[in-house]
Amino acid sequence: MRKINFLFLAFFLTISQILFAQPANDRAKLEQERKDLQNELRQVQAQYDNIKSQTKQSIGQLSILNKKIGLQEKYISNINNEIKAIDDDIYLSNIEIYRLQKQVDTLKAQYAKTVVYAYKNRSNYDYLNFIFSADNFNDAIRRITYLKSYQAYREKQVGTILQTQELIAKRKQQQVEKKDQKNVALDDQTKQAKELEVQKKEKDVVVAGLKSQEKDLKKQIDAKKKRDIDLKANITRIIQNEIAEAKRADEKRRAEEKRIAEEKRIAEEKSKPTNPVVVTNPTTPTNPDVNKPIAPSKKPDIVTTKPSSVIFNSDADLKLSASFEGNRSRLPWPVDNGFVKIHFGPYSIEGTLLKGDNPGITIGTQVGSSVKAVFEGEVVGVFNMGDGMAVTIKHGKYFTTYSNLSGVSVNKGASVRTGQAIGKAGRDDEDGSGQIDFILMIETKNVNPESWLHR
């Protein structure tokens, strides 16, 4: 029975450690997430500080405020999760303290019984009488061993009681620390909630300003639509040229394969032995098939593997496309400290009836910021859009285009590496801040670049 109680205590202590380790791991993740959110909030605030002094509201201001509000809400949610984790920790700690206290009471009761028994049999005569009353020498040795084990058990009881009491004291101290942590988290929660309200009011001001500028914004969106059409036409022309070149290379490859196969067939025909003419005796029965003319051998079919893409055919393209695909969600941003002003696809401006459709993402940055290739590849297009330059880079069957550049530092046909500077960010006519348009295409199909970039 005593052994069972001791094992139960050991089992309970182990389970308690496991239960407390899990919340600790969860809090570590929450803390890291909070640090990441704080860093991102600082970056977004720095970006907003660069444009908030403008005399009139802009789409860029609205976009970055929406970004700030989204991050602020995530931050508050993180604090709420931390408070919940602390509450769960306190609850589990209360349960453990209660069970440990019950275990101490049980251990004390058991130890009291052993003390009473020892008191009643405290004379040396009783111990000696117990030993010498043994039937034989081996029995006496067993009784001595028993007495030593009994003494050790009593000492272990005391040690277990002290250990459990220390654990209870430790858990109570942790309770005090957790409650202090919760109070700090609650104060931070209140502070961040107030900050969120300020941001929402600031957003309302920007939305109202945009609504008053709806006519001007419509002109800007219409101008962007026209630029997007012109940009798409240029990119399509470049990609179609690449497709035509790929087709010519593919046809050349097929013709070469056909020529090699034909030469091989002719060589095999020449290497075959000629069948001799057999002259038969007219009186001897003949086999009618002996002198039958030899049928010409059938020309072998040339089997070629059709590539999955007219561009995705050469070994270099295969390798580069696979490498590009393998880096999805890990590609670097084309500019440092940039933010998405207009997202990919259909969009609308809050507070107005204005709508648009972005072929890529419009990235806000500082004027003159270095624009970098997001992946290695070949420059297949450098062209002037009238109000800025654009560069298109081929990565196997993938194409990236960087437009609204104030200057370009690469030429068509050049090979570029990941992160290599290809130009400088131009100016946004709307608010005067820096801006580029970044487009990602799989052959002639536009895709959302945000899911490919790492943030």
Consecutive 10-residue averages of pLDDT for the chain (455 residues) = 52 52 71 88 83 75 90 93 89 84 78 68 55 71 72 70 81 86 92 93 90 88 90 92 83 84 83 60 49 48 47 78 94 92 91 90 92 96 91 95 95 96 90 89 93 89
What residues make up the domain containing 180? 2-212
Residues 10 and 87 in one domain: yes
Residues 123 and 224 in one domain: no
The model carries a pTM of 0.67
Contact 363, 356 (CB under 8 A): no
Task: Indicate which CATH number applies to the domain containing 333.
Answer: 2.70.70.10
Residues 105 and 226 in one domain: no
Residues 178 and 39 in one domain: yes
Q: Select from 170, 192, 212 the last residue of a domain.
A: 212
**Number of domains, the chain:** 2
In a domain, 312, yes or no: no
Strand partners, 363: 340, 436
Contacts of 431 (CB under 8 A, 6+ apart): 51, 54, 56, 58, 60, 61
Residues 111 and 134 in one domain: yes
Measured CA angle at 193 (ends 188, 198), to 5 deg = 125
Place of tokens 């069957």: 397
Radius of gyration (C-alpha) of the chain in whole angstroms: 41
Residues 75 and 222 in one domain: no
Residues 185 and 219 in one domain: no
In a domain, 373, yes or no: yes
Measured CA angle at 126 (ends 123, 132), to 5 deg = 140
Residues 174 and 202 in one domain: yes
In a domain, 296, yes or no: no
In a domain, 314, yes or no: no
Which residue, among 307, 318, 304, 306, has the nearest Cα to 257 in the 3D structure? 304
Contacts of 333 (CB under 8 A, 6+ apart): 363, 374, 453, 454, 455
In a domain, 298, yes or no: no
In a domain, 289, yes or no: no
In a domain, 259, yes or no: no
In a domain, 21, yes or no: yes
pLDDT value, residue 125: 46
